[in-house]
Amino acid sequence: MKSLDSLSVLMLGDVVGRVGRKSLARALPLLKDRYDPDVVIVNCENATHGRGCSHEHYLELLKAGADILTSGNHFYDSKDVFRDYDWSKLVRPINLGPEAPLAGARTFTIKGKTLTVINAIGCAEMQGYYERPLVAIDRVLKGDSSAFRIVDFHAEATGEKICSARYLDGRISLFVGTHTHVQTNDERILPQGTGYISDLGMCGLDESCLGASPERAVAKVVNLVPLPQEYPDNGRGRVEGVFAVLRPGYRCESIIKVRAFAEV
């Protein structure tokens, strides 16, 4: 149950392509009516044909009802991030390096309460050159005095996610994994009070392989050929994530999985 000093959060997984964007736009008003969140945070890193998020689609997701957007390893796939647009609601991975555009951690004021959102890319099985994520997160936490803190940990390995969450337990309010597009069944509150789930899942085509056309995705796996993936424009969309109620002192009072469907 929400109290005056709590913060309720609806966090949704990676938005994949047009079906992901449109199903989010259709499902989010219903989810807001059901859960009445104080803030909605959505991972947008696959919003533009599965590869990054253009500024046009950034604005589309905000119009659909997202308050804050996070990203991941496809952050650089949209060259719009280098252009002089307003990206003030986007948090990109903090461990991309000191020359990366935009911010890897941002503090927002939500109904008079301060919330810091941090996005980070994991190390295990992730291609690219990244600073160690926990070192980068520690650097933010040392200088942060927000009442609430959330980490979107964009990573492949569930083992890395739970170990990282245990390391941060009691110092952040909520730790959610993204990237795999597969919603996990391990939502819980860790011993020191931090809310946790290994992966939020996705907002994308329901009958798919991680939001992509099954035919092309299966052929890629069977033949070991790096075929470009196809992202259909229409179909039944699936919207997944968690709803959590956070309390001061970096504690999570409750966390439940969320799933909804919409035809687009």
Q: Which of 172, 137, 181, 179 is nearest to 155 (CA)?
A: 179
Q: Which amino acid is at 221?
A: V
Count of residues in the chain: 264
Which residues, 6 or more positions from 130, have their beta carbon under 8 angstroms from its beta carbon? 93, 95, 96, 97, 121, 123
Which residues, 6 or more positions from 89, have their beta carbon under 8 angstroms from its beta carbon? 58, 62, 66, 67, 68, 69
Residues 19, 211 contacting (CB under 8 angstroms):
yes
d(CA 83, CA 100): 12
Told to judge if 154 belongs to the known catalytic residues of this protein, a careful annotator would answer no
Residues 70, 102 contacting (CB under 8 angstroms):
no
- Of these residues, 55, 57, 74, 179, which one is catalytic? 74
Catalytic residue numbers, as ranges: 74
